[in-house]
Each structure stands twice: as structure tokens, then as C-alpha cells.
């Protein structure tokens, strides 16, 4: 199989969002996750708005299609269409800025109102490397996460610490919900699609019933 064909083989595609106040490091987190390096200020004009990457979650290949607010958050005008049909989100604050932490409730209200009801959200306390300037303790944020049913990690887009983990943990939770039947990928606006690999499984001889349903396109 060619490299391109291999890299496009996945079981599921999840639509992901990165939300939170401007300056918390959302674009840097996306860049670190995709490129495995820190995006320094000199190339901020490139303005990553979108990225995708295939990750392996417990043996399943999941393609994450990640949308960055691309500056919309500066005007508090993150639109309904941005939220539509997202399966997961990273909600980001900056551990050195209480202001960005205080804004979390507003972001959560928007996400729960405008995104899919079943959206899985991971709270991300970014800039973990700046511990000496910390304004929000780990304990306080983890309590907030618990009260609001969010997963929680402190990350550093600078060192890369916990960046991959944040995306993977969020994807794992979505996958668990699909496998337990709690989440139906075929429901409109679920933010989930089947990939080629999953379709191939459906077409395997063991699942002939699924094949006949699939092929009846008349």
C-alpha cells in the first residue's frame, strides 16, 4: 500500500474544536499537536486555522479534523456554524491568567448551547511551563472540571507536555461512547464519520447483512 493510501486509512473521523480566550495558546497547541514543534511568534501570520492528524487510540485509527477559532474569539463572535457538529473540544485557559480562567463559564455555556449535546470537552490549563507566574492552581481547576463534567489536563504548547495526551484522551472518550452505544455516529450533527477502514470491516464476509444494506443504493 502506498504511503498516501496508508495515511488516509482510518476507522473514524472526529470533528474537534479548540476554544477559549485569545492568547491562551490555542493556535500553538494545534501547531504542537500537528507539527510536534512550538510555533514561535515569528510565524504567527501563517495563522493555522485548521489541521488534521490520524492517531491510534487503542488499536483504532481516528482522524481528528481540528478547527481553530482563527482570531474570532477576540471579538466574542465565535459563530454557531463554528460549533456545529463537533464531537469534541479542547477548552483552553492560561494558568498564568485568572481572567482567562474566569471566562470558562461563558465558553462552556456557548459550547453546550451551540455544539452537539453530546460533545466531549477536555479542559486544558495551558502554559504549564510558566509555573512561577501561575494564578490558577491545579486543584482549583480540577474541581471546576469535576463539577462541570469535563476531563482535565495541564499542558504546555511550548514543551509539548500533555499536548498529544489532551487530544488522545478526548478522542478515547468519544470512542468509548461509540463502543458502548451511548453515541450514535450516524446521528445528524454527531461530528463523527466512518473512515475507509471501518467501511472495509463492514464489507467483510462476517458482516454480510451490513453489506446488503450498504449496496442497496437504489
Residues that bind Mg ion (CB under 5 A): 26-27
Distance CA 68, CA 29 (A): 10
The residue among 41 and 215 lying less far from ligand GDP, judged by its C-beta, is 41
8 Å CB contact between 17 and 9? no
Beta-strand ranges (E) seen in the chain are: 12-19, 50-57, 60-68, 88-94, 120-126, 151-154, 192-194
Could you say whether residue 163 binds ligand GDP (CB under 6 A)?
Answer: no
8 Å CB contact between 25 and 126? yes
Q: Which of ligand GDP, Mg ion, none does residue 97 bind (CB under 5 to 8 Å by kind)?
A: none
Distance CA 212, CA 214 (A): 5
Total residues in contact with ligand GDP, by rule CB under 6 A: 15
| Phi, psi of 40, rounded to the nearest 5 degrees | -85, 165
Stretch binding ligand GDP (CB under 6 A), from 127-135, 164-172, 183-191, 194-202: 127-135
* Window 39 to 68, contacts with ligand GDP (CB under 6 A): 41
The residue among 32 and 190 lying less far from Mg ion, judged by its C-beta, is 32
8 Å CB contact between 193 and 78? no
Q: Which of residues 55, 114, 130, 210 is near ligand GDP by CB under 6 A?
A: 130
Q: Which of residues 11, 14, 15, 25 is near ligand GDP by CB under 6 A?
A: 25
The residue among 13 and 86 lying less far from Mg ion, judged by its C-beta, is 86
Which parts of this chain interact with ligand GDP (CB under 6 A)?
22-28, 41, 126-127, 129-130, 156-158
Amino acid at each position: 500500500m502506498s504511503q498516501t493510501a496508508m495515511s488516509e486509512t482510518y476507522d473514524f473521523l472526529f470533528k474537534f474544536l479548540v476554544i477559549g480566550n485569545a492568547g491562551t495558546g490555542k493556535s500553538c497547541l494545534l501547531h504542537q499537536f500537528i507539527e510536534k514543534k512550538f510555533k514561535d511568534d515569528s510565524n504567527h501570520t501563517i495563522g493555522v486555522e485548521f489541521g488534521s492528524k490520524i492517531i491510534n487510540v487503542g488499536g483504532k485509527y481516528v482522524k481528528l479534523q481540528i478547527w481553530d477559532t482563527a482570531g474570532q474569539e477576540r471579538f466574542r463572535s465565535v459563530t454557531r456554524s463554528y460549533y456545529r457538529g463537533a464531537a469534541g473540544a479542547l477548552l483552553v485557559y492560561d494558568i498564568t491568567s485568572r481572567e482567562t480562567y474566569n471566562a470558562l463559564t461563558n465558553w462552556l455555556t456557548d459550547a453546550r448551547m451551540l455544539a452537539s449535546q453530546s460533545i466531549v470537552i477536555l479542559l486544558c490549563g495551558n502554559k504549564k511551563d510558566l509555573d512561577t507566574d501561575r494564578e490558577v492552581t491545579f486543584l482549583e481547576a480540577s474541581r471546576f472540571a469535576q463539577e462541570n463534567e469535563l476531563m482535565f489536563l495541564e499542558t504546555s504548547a511550548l514543551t509539548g507536555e500533555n499536548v498529544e495526551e489532551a487530544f488522545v484522551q478526548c478522542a478515547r472518550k468519544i470512542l468509548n461512547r461509540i463502543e458502548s452505544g451511548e453515541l450514535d455516529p450516524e446521528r445528524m450533527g454527531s461530528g463523527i464519520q466512518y473512515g475507509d477502514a471501518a467501511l472495509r470491516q463492514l464489507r467483510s464476509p462476517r458482516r454480510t447483512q451490513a453489506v446488503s444494506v450498504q449496496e442497496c443504493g437504489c
